[in-house]
Amino acid sequence: MLFVRSTLFNIFFFTITPIYSLLLIISRVMGFSASWFWARQWSHTVLWFAKIFCGIYVKVEGKEHLTDTPCVVMAKHQSALETIAMPLLIPPYVWVLKKELLHIPIFGWALRVVDAIAVDFSNPRQALKSVNSQGEQFLHDGRWVVIFPEGTRAAVGHPEKYKGGGIMLAKKSGVGILPLAHNTGCCWGKRSYIKTPGTVRLRFLPMISAAEVASRPRKELLQQLEHDIESHTRELGG
């Protein structure tokens, strides 16, 4: 039964995503807000069908930690599910992602339209330069920036080493950092075809203020973020 339900969902997902991507691309001529509307509609529709077909429910915790001020979100990365949910959780933002994603037909074009920061992770120095220059400009323009400090999806129970690019961007831009932990991998595993019923919990942790980011050493902040995100992820079962 899980295979059948997952198959139905996957058929829907890979059918609806290009359609919404095209709507997002076409609407860009009416401004960014019009494109972002379709990004949110895509998220809402996919999550609704994940609930109907796969029995996956999404619960958000710690929304009181979000502010009106743009910041850097440093999030755990376990599956595609958290990236799908984010447009419904966070004010308009840009992702930092690997440049290969832009080569996906239609969907990759949509990522370009919403101004994703695409970097070459095989060249860490150039990647960091791109994140800092583009990310600082977006933050000053009122957009949030979402970074996965592990750089890639990590299987449940097997975290990747955290990298400090998000901290450097926050320091350079004079903004705070909002950590995000979750257990999405328990229902939608890394490269998993089967989607498992359950409740996904996404938990925003307390904001690290711009003043604290500026005053504390990068290495110390990175250790705290890794400890906090991973401990909350384990608590959530991820």
The residues, ordered by sequence, that sit 6+ positions from 106 with a Cβ below 8 Å of its Cβ are 18, 21, 22, 25
Task: Please tell me the predicted confidence (pLDDT) of residue 123.
Answer: 77
Angle at the Cα of 64 from the Cα atoms of 182 and 233, rounded to 5 degrees: 15
pLDDT band at 106 (very low <50, low <70, confident <90, very high): very high
User: How confident is the model over 128-151, as a mean pLDDT?
Assistant: 92
3-state secondary structure of 115: coil
pLDDT band at 130 (very low <50, low <70, confident <90, very high): confident
Task: Please tell me the predicted confidence (pLDDT) of residue 190.
Answer: 87
Structural tokens at position 206:
């307390």
User: How confident is the model over 149-170, as a mean pLDDT?
Assistant: 93
Cα(123)–Cα(109) distance, integer angstroms:
23
Sorted by where each begins, the domain ranges of the chain are 55-235
For the domain 55-235, what is the CATH superfamily, name and number? Answer: Glycerol-3-phosphate (1)-acyltransferase (3.40.1130.10)
User: How confident is the model over 137-147, as a mean pLDDT?
Assistant: 96
Q: Are 151 and 160 in contact (CB under 8 A)?
A: yes
3-state secondary structure of 52: helix
Q: How far is CA 6 from CA 9, 12, 29, 55, 237, in A?
A: 5, 10, 36, 10, 22
The residues, ordered by sequence, that sit 6+ positions from 11 with a Cβ below 8 Å of its Cβ are none
Q: What is the pLDDT of residues 197-228, one digit of tens each?
A: 999 999 999 999 999 999 999 999 999 999 99
pLDDT band at 128 (very low <50, low <70, confident <90, very high): confident
Residue ranges of the alpha helices (H) in the chain? 2-27, 32-54, 81-89, 107-113, 124-140, 165-173, 210-215, 218-235
pTM of the model: 0.94
Average pLDDT, the chain: 95
pLDDT band at 98 (very low <50, low <70, confident <90, very high): confident
Say yes or no to pLDDT of 167 above 90.
yes
User: How confident is the model over 101-124, as a mean pLDDT?
Assistant: 89
Cα(34)–Cα(25) distance, integer angstroms:
10
Q: What is the pLDDT of residues 36-75, one digit of tens each?
A: 999 999 999 999 999 999 999 999 999 999 999 999 999 9
How many helices (H) and strands (E) would you count in the chain?
8, 7
**Which of 55-69, 118-132, 144-158, 205-219 is predicted least confidently?**
118-132
